[in-house]
């Protein structure tokens, strides 16, 4: 994930508080949302608040594998928020149920490519909602732009101890595959996987820390501890809004990555599903798209609302077209992703 904004909206302090814990936040207990931290921002689903008088109850996860294991062990919620490469795994595990598209008021406005990607046995399972890019992000007041024109900055010894990478297997391997010249990870060979893993080991030598969310990364970059990161486009948006000269370069020679996520209806949710669809419909309102783009820098799953915002707005937040390779974080072979997870844990441990 990534972001850019029009210098208003969630402050750095607010984002730090939003990412401070993973415990549930009690509100309307008629809907439990299991989500990434920060997505409890009412600006995303104001229509739900107006209808029900309160925000849903939220519980947070830091990474999709954590969410998967918690749900599989019996944790109950009504709605959750996986990204594209995890959806089929959740479906195969029986964690999600089909969407009743007749209850989704703006279903015809949803990005057609994204929603069709998760149609299993004739049923839709993912409501695409947010998308963005992951790219080299840096303190432009402290780093020369020429130094970040290539992904080799992450293995450059001059930046030892001043680099941060996401604690997210999909984002780090997207980086590593791009760095070795591969822009479609569904075509990765065993040799590609080994080369990408070795590149990651080299980059690990420069890493000060692996960031878990935008709040943590923003704090690291604000203090100057970290100068360069592989980050979602949220980071420059929110940090520019707080007065920091933080810039994303999506046009490094090797390219950048794109991702998309969405909401799923969890099987055996504890509450009546009427509020699930109220929540989905609130998220799909044009006002939600405007807020997500302008305040967070992410793209929105409502394709019609996105087009209405215009290319100038989308270019400003880093969602426009680029003429370098793009690695789309498409669903991949599950056995390869499991190996990536295991290898990434070894790399972080120094092995």
pLDDT tens figures, 197-247? 999 999 999 999 999 888 899 999 999 999 999 998 889 988 998 999 999
User: Is the distance from CB of 5 to CB of 317 less than 8 angstroms?
Assistant: yes
The confidence score (pLDDT) of residue 108 equals 97
pLDDT attached to residue 209: 97
End-to-end CA distance of the chain: 27
Give the Cα separation of 140 and 22 in Å (integer). Answer: 32
* Contact partners, residue 292, CB within 8 Å, separation at least 6: 44, 130, 298, 299, 300
Q: What residue has token string 């999909």? A: 170
Rounded Cα distance, 254 and 232, in Å: 17
Crossing angle for the helix pair 234-241 and 214-223, to the nearest 10 degrees:
50
In this prediction, residue 17 carries a pLDDT of: 31
Q: What are all long-range contacts of 102-108, with beta carbons under 8 Å and residues at least 24 apart? A: 103/277, 103/280, 104/277, 104/280, 104/281, 104/284, 105/281, 105/284, 106/281, 106/284, 106/285, 106/302, 106/304
- For residue 199, which of 173, 233, 225, 221 has the smallest C-alpha distance? 173
Dihedrals φ, ψ of 156, to 5°? -75, 120
Q: pLDDT tens digit string along 116-143?
A: 888 899 999 999 999 988 999 999 999 9
Q: Which residues pair with 189 in a beta bridge?
A: none
- Tell me, letter by letter, the H, E, C secondary structure of 277-315: HHHHHHHCCHHHHHHHHHHHCCEECEHHHHHHHCHHHHH
pLDDT under 50: residue ranges of the chain: 1-22
pLDDT score at 8: 30
DSSP state of 103: G
To the nearest 10 degrees (0 to 180), the angle between helices 334-348 and 190-204 is 20
Identify the pLDDT of residue 26: 58
Q: Supply the pLDDT for residue 4.
A: 28
| 25 burial via Cβ count (<10 Å: 0-12, 13-18, 19+) | middle
pLDDT for 239 equals: 93
The pLDDT assigned to 72 comes to 96
Q: Scan for tokens 């399972």, then name that residue.
A: 125
CA 89 to chain centre: 17
| Alpha carbon distance 176, 22 (integer Å) | 29
Q: Report pLDDT for 176.
A: 98
């Amino acid at each position: 994930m990534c972001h850019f904004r029009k210098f208003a909206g969630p402050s750095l302090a607010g984002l730090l508080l939003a990412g401070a814990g993973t415990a549930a936040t009690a509100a309307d207990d008629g809907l439990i949302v299991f989500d990434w931290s920060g997505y409890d921002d009412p600006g995303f689903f104001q229509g739900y608040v107006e209808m029900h008088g309160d925000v849903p109850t939220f519980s947070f996860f830091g990474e999709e594998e954590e969410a998967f294991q918690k749900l599989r062990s019996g944790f109950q919620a009504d709605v959750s928020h996986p990204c594209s490469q995890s959806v089929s795994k959740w479906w195969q595990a029986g964690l999600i149920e089909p969407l009743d598209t007749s209850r989704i008021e703006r279903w015809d406005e949803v990005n057609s490519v994204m929603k069709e990607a998760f149609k299993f046995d004739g049923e839709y399972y993912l409501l695409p909602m947010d998308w963005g890019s992951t790219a080299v992000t840096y303190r432009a007041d402290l780093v020369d732009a020429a130094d970040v024109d290539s992904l080799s900055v992450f293995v450059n010894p001059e930046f030892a101890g001043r680099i941060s990478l996401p604690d997210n297997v999909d984002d780090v391997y997207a980086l590593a595959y791009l760095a070795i010249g591969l822009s479609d990870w569904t075509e990765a060979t065993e040799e590609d996987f080994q080369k990408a893993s070795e590149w990651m080991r080299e980059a690990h030598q420069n890493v000060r820390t692996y960031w878990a969310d935008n709040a943590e990364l923003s704090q690291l970059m604000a203090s100057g501890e970290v100068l360069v990161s592989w980050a979602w486009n949220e980071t420059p948006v929110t940090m520019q809004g707080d007065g920091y000269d933080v810039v994303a370069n999506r046009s490094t020679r090797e390219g950048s990555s794109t991702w998309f996520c969405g909401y799923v209806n969890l099987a055996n949710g504890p509450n009546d599903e009427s509020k699930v669809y109220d929540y989905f419909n609130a998220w799909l309102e044009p006002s939600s798209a405007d807020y997500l783009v302008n305040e967070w820098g992410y793209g929105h799953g409502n394709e019609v609302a996105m087009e209405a915002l215009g290319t100038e707005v989308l270019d400003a937040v880093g969602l426009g077209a680029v003429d370098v390779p793009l690695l789309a974080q498409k669903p991949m072979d599950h056995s390869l992703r499991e190996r990536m997870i295991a290898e990434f844990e070894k790399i972080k441990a120094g092995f």
